[in-house]
Amino acid sequence: MTDRFRITLAQLNPTVGDLSGNAAKARDAWAQGKAADAHLVALPEMFITGYQTQDLIEKPVFHQAAIAAIEALATDCADGPALAIGGPALEGAGLYNAYYILSKGKITSRVLKHNLPNETVFDEVRLYDSGPLGGPYSVGNTRIGSPICEDAWHAEVPETLAETGAEFLLVPNGSPYYRGKLDMRMNQMVARVVETGLPLIYLNMVGGQDDQVFDGATFGLNPGGELAFILPPFDEEIRQIDLTRGPEGWRIEPGEKAHQPDEWEQDYRCMVESLRDYCGKTGFKKVLLGLSGGIDSAIVATIAADALGPDNVRCVMLPSEYTSDHSLEDAKACAEALGCRYDFVPIAAGRQAITATLAPLFEGTEPDLTEENIQSRLRGLLLMALSNKFGEMLLTTGNKSEVAVGYATIYGDMAGGYNPIKDLYKTRVFEQCRWRNVNHRDWMMGPEGEVIPDRIITKPPSAELRPDQKDSDSLPDYPVLDGLLELLVDRDASIADCVAAGYAHDDAKKVERLIYLSEYKRFQSAPGTRLTKSAFWLDRRYPIVNRWRDG
């Protein structure tokens, strides 16, 4: 006789620290599972606290309150399916990343995470103790193994669970996006299925948290590695999944295999979702930015319109005497195409006043970068004044190439609260703009069509801080610069590696020097969307004072 086991998978978006809000989401998912006659309702890793909590989890009053919230959930969800939810656990003097099974009004089982990630954005070794290798838990007469996130990226925990009687694997995750991450997850989970011979359900959360975005794409694999279902990425989903038991054991019944977009759409969605959640979870309803007529501010304005709606985005043109007519025209055209508010605030009079104030101190010196930076800092001052007056968060607009080499003015165009394109190299900015101009999705709140004028994409990039200035006056051409940055930053390559790849030694040395000299700027820069494993924030932690140079 064939047995059936129904799981309600809750691919949801928690908020770090919002214990009551996260518990309410869990209760709602449980109620939907109860209505669907599920045996088990499953939520992702550390769902009650949100993920990642970083050092907040070490605060005793916080982790104790989180455990109390789980205990309250057990009472609230007594009459119906079992509920599985991630949260902190205390055992002796140890603090653990745990997965709780709640049933009939109490905590019936608790899984403690064994393998603690300690790379890129993860610091779990310093936050949690490692749990012992354990066995499966029971829901009714079915034995389930739950390797928690990293535990499924190594063989020993799933193999131990299989050897001790687990009938299938349910893996709760807080797995953030980076480009190509889904393929990496799939490859790892297929290996676990092949090794254990058990079906595997990979449950991931969605939503933005600071720089990270959790992209969902929850999936199930049957023995042999066959894909049984996959949920849409980035969207909250509550889905019923059935397993049936036949002569060969449990199998996941085939379900929807949702479309998984290409990397251009996923990167763009990631930037939109990260800004939307950063604002939503911190309380900002509106944003503003300096719209210069250049490509970086144009793509940020577009991301903001898609994330929050054009009515919630203020674009401000702050021209100086060096601002070209085409920049004035392009900025206005972009704001109008997006449907955003457009303000025109010339800085010439303010700059003259500052120059006159400094003139006695600068007497006998020649104009240089100092005077250029005054323009940028004056713009930052005016934008922050608007932010303070109207409660709109200021966005910064520096791409990864500029952030890497410090081609930005600290306390000037670096002023602001969030940077959606912080992990997007300049050469990718061009292509991302072209992609957005010909693609529109229902999750975008901005208009469809060509919202970024073609001239913004095709004209030579310039900061326009002096006559006839071009970025290439100070930096290698962007294809060369980005190629070197991908080697030096993304791959930790040496100068010799760069030369072997075909780049000039002098260019490689110049770029390396700029990267190291700019560390202090990045330390003070706004957080921004993480798109790769080499983003500038938690992925890269270099000293500010550093005399090391290669080659």
CA end-to-end span of the chain:
70
Give Cα 135 to chain centroid, integer Å.
33
DSSP 399-414: -HHHHHHT-S-TTTTT
Please report the DSSP string for 79-105 in residue order. SSSEEEEEEEEEETTEEEEEEEEEETT
What is residue 162's three-state secondary structure? helix
470 is catalytic: no
- Kindly name the residue from 25, 45, 167, 392 that is annotated as catalytic: 45
- The contacts found for 20-28 with CB under 8 angstroms, 24 or more apart, are 20/69, 22/47, 22/48, 22/49, 22/50, 22/69, 23/48, 23/69, 23/72, 23/73, 26/73, 26/77, 26/83, 26/85, 27/73, 27/76, 27/77
DSSP 337-370: HHT-EEEE---HHHHHHHHHHHHHHHTT----HH
Give the C-alpha separation, 324 to 344, whole Å: 14
| Angle, alpha carbons 323-329-333 (nearest 5°) | 135
Q: Which of 149, 334, 433, 498 is catalytic?
A: 149
Active site residue 113: yes
- Among residues 122, 266, 281, 118, the alpha carbon closest in space to that of 210 is found at 281
149 is catalytic: yes
H or E, element range at 5: strand 3-11
Calculate helix-pair angle for 60-76, 19-35, nearest 10 degrees: 20
Q: Are 152 and 198 in contact (CB under 8 A)?
A: no
6 closest CA partner among 34, 29, 28, 31: 34
Question: Largest Cα–Cα distance in the chain?
Answer: 95
**Whole-angstrom distance, CA of residue 343 vs CA of residue 291:** 9
Name the strand (E) or helix (H) holding 280: helix 263-282
- Running DSSP on this structure, what letter comes out for residue 168? E
What's the alpha-carbon Rg for the chain, to the nearest Å?
Answer: 26
Whole-number Å distance between alpha carbons of 128 and 274: 27
Name the active-site residue from 25, 77, 113, 273: 113
Catalytic residue positions, numbered: 45, 113, 149
